[in-house]
């Protein structure tokens, strides 16, 4: 950027087409233009613009033609938007407590989080959109459970650091679909998926409601589109059956289907939601078979796939429907059973319809009788069920709704609906039938001619999974060694032998071996240490030890075959496949491994190739023995610090700690290069890249690397605060405002120009001109609409007064310290060490009880 002014107005950009934001060089030009813009005083070009304006009839043609003002800056939010746009929320855990009985988290300011709240959680990797989930339970961390249970005898409020959150996730469409183009950014799917997460993963509250519950929860249906942090669902996705299920809130079932039904009332009392297979006509099934509603005699029964013989639902293709009355019968329920469906075009009539066709008075009489029995059977069943429901409701047994958030009531339950009235029956998971038939089972057992005889072999080889094939590695015998002695032995081994073997003390092989030796020595430490002295070798530990020659062969192999280790192993004839595999997983994380494997063209994600070559070389080829510290080792060394500040958001960059990089960030989505905070994005920059860049940047000033000046760092891909807000909350990528407005207007040019004019004419920043329904219909996220409108209006102001652009940069910079304060917290690592946490609990216990824990 030696001479930005000269390069500021590139000729190839002069054409009047819209800026293509995906071109990578467009960004360079853009930033040059921005700099030029700041230097300019808004003079010079105005005449040209005026001339153009006269050419076109459109009032804002000059605005559209202006190539000098950027389209991608982060607009200032007017006060009315700011309240809800606060991004990244954290819980102040210092001093907060969990009330176990009430299942709430309290801070000094009151209740902050409780069970059934729906919240954002930081995702893994942190560059992805937030996870959305429901708090199911505050769980005590297992290592403290015993003491906390004791403490709970005296107090209900326990410091929150002893707790974790059990979460029930909602999936975003992008988590489970391949194509997410035509879905709303507010649509999610319920799941049966639970995880336990640290409370610190919390990133703010959100609202997730069932679509049918919107009227009761929101002011208007439109808030599903416009209200911040609101999501809706009407289906559940089960990752085990890989199927979608329709979810019904039991309160809307009761209110909308039949508010007088005892059966529905019972469901409502017991469960929050019930779910059925996608497309299963649940309402109709309920009405016909379970609700006493005699007025409703539906004549069209084509939806009904209940087998007229066995009364089960026909859920696969192995059934026939009567061509006359639409009743269904399983192939296997026919008399005699059919093994396969008749050919297409063959008309099949049920027994009753056949009798009707026959037309004799005797046959018709029979039909009538049959139908009557059927009707009375259904009615009787309905009465019985509702009677039972009624008495169960009267029983006043404690009904735990929480334990069955979603209850399966789908097609496999059609014959066992009364089981739902059993207070002990919980069906959180969907049913699937076993798949029977020639399609799924081997049917060759009848074909005995092709059988080969094979003599029975017994005990020839080790049976897998029995004690002959398993080996005991470690068993603690507390009568022979105390926990302290064991701890002393292990730490002695770690200090003594691990460095000698050039191994990481925490590596599994090493720990397994020292423990096994101790066990074989009957828990006698001194003889175990003697054996360790002689027997602990890299060979015994099966640690791969490669000569430089072998390393060379191995690396060439990986460069050629990637992770096809079978082939790689052929390249290293002097090492076994198992050693190659072991070596591969250690080597992969070394700089050389990262480079070679990272550049392997068969690998889909190829991050390192984006880095300048000299950076890669700078970290390349350190000693292969010089392995990276494991996370554990890093953490244990971090414990040596006393009180310190901690950067608590792993999803944004700790800018204050990387002053060199501060000026090199660029937004991966909108290409802007200034933002108060920078956020991580998948496929953008990550920790390893930072390390490499920092190393490079810390070289002595003025020294050129391979002829390149050191400040020629590549841009660091991240997300600006606006794009991060869109991405983290809604999984939406930013789009240029004109693209957004075009999409909202169906790409119709005249309505696009009209709506742009309406937006630009509006002087009140708090008013958006786009109709929410329009955004909903076109599946454009409302926050993106808001960004587009604000951006267009604020850009208009900029074209009138180009010098004011620097105000945006200043504003952005001044926001930094405010935002930074939110993600930097004083942190006393000592008080989070397990030993200290246990001590703290024991002290609390002693205070309450004066008991012998002290
Ligand atoms: Zn059947
Ligand atoms: Zn029929
Ligand atoms: Zn951006």
For residue 710, name the pLDDT band (cuts at 50, 70, 90): very low
Determine the distance separating the centroid of ligand 2 and the alpha carbon of 625, expressed in angstroms.
Answer: 79
Determine the distance separating the centroid of ligand 1 and the alpha carbon of 808, expressed in angstroms.
Answer: 71
- Report yes or no: 308 and 328 within 8 Å, Cβ to Cβ: yes
For 402, residues 6+ apart whose C-beta sits below 8 A from its C-beta are: 115
Q: Which ligand is nearest to the CA of 321?
A: 2
Rounded mean pLDDT of 700-725?
62
Q: How many helices (H) and strands (E) are present in the chain, helices listed first?
A: 31, 20
Determine the distance separating the centroid of ligand 2 and the alpha carbon of 323, expressed in angstroms.
Answer: 7
Q: Which ligand is nearest to the CA of 322?
A: 2
Determine the distance separating the centroid of ligand 3 and the alpha carbon of 107, expressed in angstroms.
Answer: 34
Q: Fold match between 89-241 and 262-421?
A: no
Determine the distance separating the centroid of ligand 2 and the alpha carbon of 327, expressed in angstroms.
Answer: 6
Question: What is the structure's pLDDT at 464?
Answer: 63
For residue 30, name the pLDDT band (cuts at 50, 70, 90): low
For 723, residues 6+ apart whose C-beta sits below 8 A from its C-beta are: 667, 668, 669, 670, 679, 733, 734
Question: What is the structure's pLDDT at 626?
Answer: 34
Q: What percent of the chain has pLDDT over 70?
A: 79
User: What are the tokens at 201?
Assistant: 């993963």
Residue 93 vs residue 54, higher pLDDT: 93
Rounded mean pLDDT of 107-129?
89
Query: pLDDT digit string (tens) for 1-29?
Result: 333 333 333 333 222 333 344 444 555 55
List beta partners, residue 307: 328
Determine the distance separating the centroid of ligand 3 and the alpha carbon of 813, expressed in angstroms.
Answer: 15
Q: Which ligand is nearest to the CA of 75?
A: 3
Determine the distance separating the centroid of ligand 1 and the alpha carbon of 334, expressed in angstroms.
Answer: 8
Question: What is the structure's pLDDT at 585?
Answer: 83
For residue 600, name the pLDDT band (cuts at 50, 70, 90): low
Rounded mean pLDDT of 511-539?
90
Query: pLDDT digit string (tens) for 765-808?
Result: 888 999 999 999 999 999 999 999 999 999 998 888 877 788 88
For residue 47, name the pLDDT band (cuts at 50, 70, 90): very low
Regarding the domain delimited by 262-421, which CATH topology (the fold level of the hierarchy) does it fall under?
Herpes Virus-1 (3.30.40)
Say if strands 230-233 and 273-277 run parallel, antiparallel, or are unpaired.
Answer: unpaired
Determine the distance separating the centroid of ligand 3 and the alpha carbon of 126, expressed in angstroms.
Answer: 17
Determine the distance separating the centroid of ligand 1 and the alpha carbon of 421, expressed in angstroms.
Answer: 25
Q: Which ligand is nearest to the CA of 718?
A: 3
Could you name the CATH architecture of 89-241? Roll (2.30)
pLDDT above 70 for 44: no
Query: pLDDT digit string (tens) for 329-341?
Result: 998 888 888 888 8
Question: What is the structure's pLDDT at 455?
Answer: 76
Determine the distance separating the centroid of ligand 1 and the alpha carbon of 408, expressed in angstroms.
Answer: 21
Question: What is the structure's pLDDT at 598?
Answer: 65
Determine the distance separating the centroid of ligand 1 and the alpha carbon of 238, expressed in angstroms.
Answer: 27
Determine the distance separating the centroid of ligand 3 and the alpha carbon of 672, expressed in angstroms.
Answer: 6
pLDDT above 80 for 421: yes
Q: Backbone dihedral region of 446: left (phi > 0), alpha (psi from -120 to 50 degrees) or beta?
A: alpha
Helix or strand or coil: residue 200? helix
Determine the distance separating the centroid of ligand 3 and the alpha carbon of 91, expressed in angstroms.
Answer: 26
Residue 524 vs residue 177, higher pLDDT: 524
Q: Which ligand is nearest to the CA of 353?
A: 2
Query: pLDDT digit string (tens) for 486-512?
Result: 999 999 998 888 888 888 787 888 888
| Cβ burial, residue 705 (10 Å; 0-12/13-18/19+) | middle
Q: Which ligand is nearest to the CA of 326?
A: 2
What does the H/E/C string look like for 502-535?
A: CCCCCCHHHHHHHHHHHHHCCCCHHHHHHHHHHH
pLDDT above 70 for 688: no
Long-range contact set of residues 502-510: C-beta below 8 Å, sequence gap at least 24: 502/538, 502/625, 503/538, 503/541, 503/543, 504/627, 504/629, 504/630, 504/633, 505/633, 506/630, 506/632, 506/633, 507/630, 509/541, 509/542, 509/543, 510/541
Say if strands 163-171 and 131-140 run parallel, antiparallel, or are unpaired.
Answer: antiparallel
pLDDT above 70 for 714: no
Domain parsing of the chain, residue ranges: 21-88+652-681+719-826, 89-241, 262-421
- Report yes or no: 675 and 74 within 8 Å, Cβ to Cβ: yes
pLDDT above 50 for 547: yes
Determine the distance separating the centroid of ligand 2 and the alpha carbon of 382, expressed in angstroms.
Answer: 24
Question: Mean pLDDT lowest for which of 543-547, 641-645, 840-844?
Answer: 641-645
pLDDT above 90 for 759: yes
Determine the distance separating the centroid of ligand 2 and the alpha carbon of 825, expressed in angstroms.
Answer: 73
Rounded mean pLDDT of 704-710?
39
DSSP 25-73: HHHHHHHHHHHHHHHS-S-STHHHHHHHHHH-S-TTHHHHH--SS-S-S
Determine the distance separating the centroid of ligand 3 and the alpha carbon of 136, expressed in angstroms.
Answer: 34
Question: What is the structure's pLDDT at 50?
Answer: 44
Q: Which ligand is nearest to the CA of 666?
A: 3
pTM (2 d.p.): 0.70
Which residues are placed with Cβ below 5 angstroms of ligand 2, an ion?
322, 324-325, 350, 353
Q: Which ligand is nearest to the CA of 371?
A: 2
Question: What is the structure's pLDDT at 478?
Answer: 86
Q: Which ligand is nearest to the CA of 318?
A: 1
Residue 433 vs residue 607, higher pLDDT: 433
Determine the distance separating the centroid of ligand 1 and the alpha carbon of 318, expressed in angstroms.
Answer: 10
Rounded mean pLDDT of 822-843?
84
For residue 229, name the pLDDT band (cuts at 50, 70, 90): very high
Residue 126 vs residue 47, higher pLDDT: 126
pLDDT above 70 for 620: no
- Report yes or no: 328 and 314 within 8 Å, Cβ to Cβ: yes
pLDDT above 50 for 702: no
Determine the distance separating the centroid of ligand 3 and the alpha carbon of 542, expressed in angstroms.
Answer: 49
- CA 757 to chain CA centroid, Å, is 40
Determine the distance separating the centroid of ligand 2 and the alpha carbon of 305, expressed in angstroms.
Answer: 13
- How far is the CA of 619 from the CAs of 258, 613, 790, in angstroms? 70, 10, 45
Determine the distance separating the centroid of ligand 1 and the alpha carbon of 281, expressed in angstroms.
Answer: 18
Q: Which of 194-203, 583-592, 683-692 has the highest mean pLDDT?
A: 194-203
Mean pLDDT of the chain: 80
Determine the distance separating the centroid of ligand 1 and the alpha carbon of 235, expressed in angstroms.
Answer: 28
Query: 350-370: string of b/e by CB count within 10 Å (b at 16+)?
Result: bbbbebbeeeeeeeeebbeee
pLDDT above 70 for 36: no
Q: Which ligand is nearest to the CA of 310?
A: 1
Rounded mean pLDDT of 575-595?
82
Give, as one character, the DSSP assignment of residue 542: T
Determine the distance separating the centroid of ligand 1 and the alpha carbon of 286, expressed in angstroms.
Answer: 19
Query: pLDDT digit string (tens) for 242-272?
Result: 899 999 999 999 998 888 899 999 999 889 9
Residue 604 vs residue 607, higher pLDDT: 604
Query: 60-94: string of b/e by CB count within 10 Å (b at 16+)?
Result: bbbbebbbbbbbbbbbbbeeebeeeeebbeebebe
Q: Which ligand is nearest to the CA of 733?
A: 3
Question: What is the structure's pLDDT at 829?
Answer: 76
Determine the distance separating the centroid of ligand 3 and the alpha carbon of 65, expressed in angstroms.
Answer: 23
């Amino acid at each position: 950027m030696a001479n930005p002014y000269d390069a500021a107005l590139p000729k190839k950009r002069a054409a009047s087409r819209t800026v293509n934001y995906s071109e990578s060089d467009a960004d360079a030009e853009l930033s040059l233009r921005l700099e030029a813009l700041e230097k300019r005083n808004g003079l010079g070009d105005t005449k040209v613009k005026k001339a153009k304006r006269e050419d076109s009839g459109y009032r804002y043609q000059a605005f559209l033609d202006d190539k000098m003002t950027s389209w991608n800056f982060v607009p200032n939010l007017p006060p009315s938007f700011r309240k809800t746009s606060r991004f990244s929320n954290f819980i102040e855990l210092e001093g907060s407590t969990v009330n176990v009985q009430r299942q709430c988290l309290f801070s000094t300011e009151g209740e902050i989080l409780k069970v059934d709240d729906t919240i954002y959680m930081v995702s893994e990797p942190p560059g992805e959109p937030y996870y959305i989930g429901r708090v199911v339970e505050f769980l005590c961390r297992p290592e403290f459970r015993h003491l906390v249970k004791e403490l709970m005898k005296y107090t209900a409020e326990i410091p929150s650091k002893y707790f974790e959150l059990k979460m029930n996730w909602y999936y975003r469409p992008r988590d489970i679909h391949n194509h997410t183009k035509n879905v709303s950014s507010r649509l999610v799917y319920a799941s049966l998926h639970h995880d336990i997460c640290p409370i610190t993963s919390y990133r703010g509250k959100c609202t997730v409601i069932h679509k049918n519950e919107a009227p009761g929860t929101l002011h208007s249906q439109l808030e599903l589109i416009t209200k911040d942090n609101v999501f809706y669902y009407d289906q559940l996705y089960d990752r085990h059956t890989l199927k979608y299920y329709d979810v019904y809130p039991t309160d809307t079932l009761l209110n909308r289907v039949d508010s007088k039904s005892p059966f529905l009332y019972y469901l409502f009392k017991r469960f929050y939601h019930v779910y059925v297979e996608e497309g299963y006509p649940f309402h109709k099934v309920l009405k016909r078979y379970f609700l006493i509603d005699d007025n409703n005699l539906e004549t069209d029964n084509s939806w009904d796939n209940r087998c007229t013989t066995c009364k089960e639902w026909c859920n696969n293709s192995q059934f026939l429907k009567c061509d006359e009355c639409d009743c269904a019968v399983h192939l296997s329920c026919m008399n005699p059973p059919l093994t396969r469906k008749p050919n297409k075009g063959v008309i099949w009539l049920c027994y009753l319809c056949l009798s009707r066709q026959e037309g004799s008075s005797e046959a018709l009489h029979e039909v009538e009788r049959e139908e009557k029995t059927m009707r009375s059977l259904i009615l009787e069943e309905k009465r019985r069920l509702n009677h039972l429901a009624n008495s169960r409701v009267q029983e006043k047994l404690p009904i735990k709704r929480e334990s069955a958030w979603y209850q399966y009531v789908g097609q496999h339950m059609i014959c066992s609906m009364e089981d739902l009235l059993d207070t002990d029956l919980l069906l959180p998971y969907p049913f699937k039938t076993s798949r029977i038939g020639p399609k799924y089972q081997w049917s060759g057992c009848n074909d005995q001619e092709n059988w080969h005889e094979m003599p029975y072999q017994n005990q020839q080889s080790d049976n897998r999974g029995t004690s002959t094939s398993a080996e005991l590695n470690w068993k603690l015998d507390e009568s022979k060694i105390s926990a302290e002695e064991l701890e002393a032995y292990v730490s002695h081994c770690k200090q003594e032998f691990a460095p000698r073997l050039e191994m990481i003390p925490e590596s599994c092989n090493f720990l397994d071996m020292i423990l096994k030796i101790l066990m074989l020595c009957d828990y006698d430490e001194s003889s175990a240490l003697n054996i360790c002295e002689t027997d602990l070798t890299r060979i015994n530990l099966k640690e791969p030890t490669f000569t430089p020659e072998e390393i060379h062969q191995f690396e060439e192999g990986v460069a050629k075959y990637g992770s096809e280790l079978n082939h790689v192993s052929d390249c290293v004839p002097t090492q076994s496949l198992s050693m190659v595999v072991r070596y591969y997983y250690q080597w992969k994380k070394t700089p050389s491994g990262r480079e070679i494997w990272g550049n392997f063209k068969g690998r889909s994600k190829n991050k390192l190739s984006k880095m300048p070559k000299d950076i890669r070389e700078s970290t390349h080829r350190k000693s292969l023995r010089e392995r990276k510290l494991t996370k554990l080792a890093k953490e244990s060394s971090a414990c040596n610090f006393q009180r310190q500040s901690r950067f608590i958001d792993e999803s944004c960059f700790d800018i204050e700690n990387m002053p060199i990089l501060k000026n090199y960030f660029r937004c991966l989505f909108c290409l802007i290069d200034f933002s108060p905070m920078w956020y991580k994005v998948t496929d953008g920059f990550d920790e390893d890249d930072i390390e490499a860049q920092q190393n490079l940047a810390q070289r002595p000033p003025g020294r050129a690397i391979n002829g390149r000046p050191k400040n020629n760092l590549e841009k660091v891909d991240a997300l600006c605060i606006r794009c991060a807000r869109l991405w983290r909350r809604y999984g939406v990528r930013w789009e240029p405002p004109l693209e957004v407005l075009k999409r909202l207007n169906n790409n119709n040019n005249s309505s696009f120009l009209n709506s742009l004019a309406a937006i630009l004419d509006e002087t009140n920043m708090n008013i958006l001109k786009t109709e929410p329904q329009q955004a909903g219909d076109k599946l454009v996220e409302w926050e993106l609409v808001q960004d587009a409108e604000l951006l267009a209006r604020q850009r208009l102001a900029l074209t009138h007064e180009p010098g004011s652009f620097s105000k945006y940069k200043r504003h952005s910079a001044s926001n930094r310290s405010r935002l930074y304060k939110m993600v930097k917290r004083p942190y006393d690592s000592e008080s989070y060490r397990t030993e200290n946490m246990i001590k703290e609990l024991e002290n609390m216990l002693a205070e309450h009880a004066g008991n012998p824990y002290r």
